[in-house]
C-alpha cells in the first residue's frame, strides 16, 4: 500500500471537509439574514385609484399622496351629496373608516344632520373642483361648490371645503380628522395669511 498517496488523499478530504463546513456556515448565516430582512420589509401594494389618474401605493402603515387624495375625494363626494333617502347609507359607509377617537362625535353629527335633512326635506350636492394634499399636516382638502335645495325648490350655491386626515393601519385607511366649512381650503399657508391680516387689523 502507498502511504504517501493515502496521506495526500486523506489531507485533501479533510481540507475539502473544512471548506464545506465553512461554506455551509456562511450559507446558513446568509439565509438567516435574508429571513430577518424579509420579515422586516414592508409589503407594498401598487394601486391605480378610480378617482385619480396617478398611480398610488400602500404599505401596512403608509400610503402615497395619490392614495390619500383618492380617499379624500371619495369621502367628500359621499358626505357632500346627502339626501333624505341616503343619510343612513352614508352613516353606514363612513362608520368603519373612522378612528375610535372621532367615531362617536362624527356619528352624532351625522345623525343630527340627517335628522335636520329629513325634517326640512332638503337635499344637498357637492361638485368637487380640486383636491390638495398638505405634506406638513398630512391633510387632504377637497374644494368645490355645495348646492343646497329646499322643499320649495330654491337652490343656494356656496364654496365648500372638506378637510380630512387619513392614516393607514394594516393597509386600510383610517380617518382621524374630519372638518367641513364654507370657505377655501384652510392650508397652513392660508391660515398664516389670515393670522397676519388679523394681527395687522
pLDDT tens digits, residue range 19-64?
Answer: 778 877 878 888 877 777 777 666 655 555 555 566 777 778 888 8
Mark whether 53 and 66 lie in a shared domain: yes
Rounded average pLDDT over 142-161: 87
| Residue with cell string 405634506 | 135
Q: Please tell me whether residue 137 adopts helix, strand or coil conformation.
A: coil
Report the 10 Å Cβ neighbour count for 26: 10
Mark whether 8 and 63 lie in a shared domain: no
Give 198's pLDDT tier (boundaries 50, 70, 90).
confident
Q: What's the chain's average pLDDT?
A: 81
Question: Residue 9: which domain range?
Answer: 1-41
pLDDT for the residue 108: 83
pLDDT for the residue 19: 73
pLDDT for the residue 3: 47
Report the 10 Å Cβ neighbour count for 66: 20
Give 125's pLDDT tier (boundaries 50, 70, 90).
confident
Mark whether 80 and 94 lie in a shared domain: yes
Total count of domains within the chain:
2
pLDDT for the residue 82: 75
Higher pLDDT: 119 or 158? It is 158
What totals of helices (H) and strands (E) does the chain contain, helices first? 5, 6
Q: Kindly tell me if the per-residue pLDDT of 7 is higher than 60.
A: no
Report the 10 Å Cβ neighbour count for 171: 13
Mark whether 80 and 112 lie in a shared domain: yes
Mark whether 36 and 119 lie in a shared domain: no
Mark whether 25 and 56 lie in a shared domain: no
Amino acid at each position: 500500500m502507498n502511504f504517501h498517496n493515502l496521506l495526500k488523499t486523506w489531507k485533501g478530504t479533510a481540507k475539502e471537509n473544512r471548506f464545506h463546513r465553512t461554506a455551509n456556515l456562511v450559507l446558513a448565516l446568509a439565509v438567516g439574514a435574508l429571513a430577518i430582512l424579509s420579515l422586516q420589509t414592508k409589503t407594498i401594494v401598487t394601486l391605480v385609484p378610480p378617482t385619480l389618474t396617478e398611480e398610488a401605493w400602500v404599505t401596512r402603515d403608509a400610503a402615497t399622496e395619490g392614495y390619500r387624495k383618492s380617499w379624500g375625494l371619495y369621502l367628500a363626494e359621499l358626505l357632500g351629496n346627502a339626501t333624505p333617502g341616503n343619510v343612513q347609507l352614508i352613516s353606514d359607509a363612513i362608520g368603519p373608516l373612522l378612528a375610535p377617537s372621532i367615531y362617536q362625535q362624527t356619528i352624532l353629527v351625522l345623525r343630527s344632520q340627517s335628522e335636520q335633512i329629513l325634517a326640512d326635506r332638503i337635499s344637498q350636492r357637492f361638485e368637487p373642483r380640486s383636491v390638495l394634499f398638505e405634506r406638513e399636516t398630512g391633510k387632504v382638502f377637497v374644494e368645490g361648490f355645495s348646492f343646497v335645495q329646499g322643499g320649495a325648490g330654491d337652490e343656494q350655491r356656496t364654496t365648500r371645503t372638506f378637510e380630512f386626515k387619513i392614516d393607514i393601519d394594516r393597509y386600510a385607511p383610517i380617518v382621524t380628522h374630519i372638518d367641513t366649512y364654507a370657505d377655501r381650503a384652510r392650508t397652513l399657508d392660508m391660515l398664516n395669511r389670515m393670522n397676519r391680516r388679523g394681527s395687522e387689523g
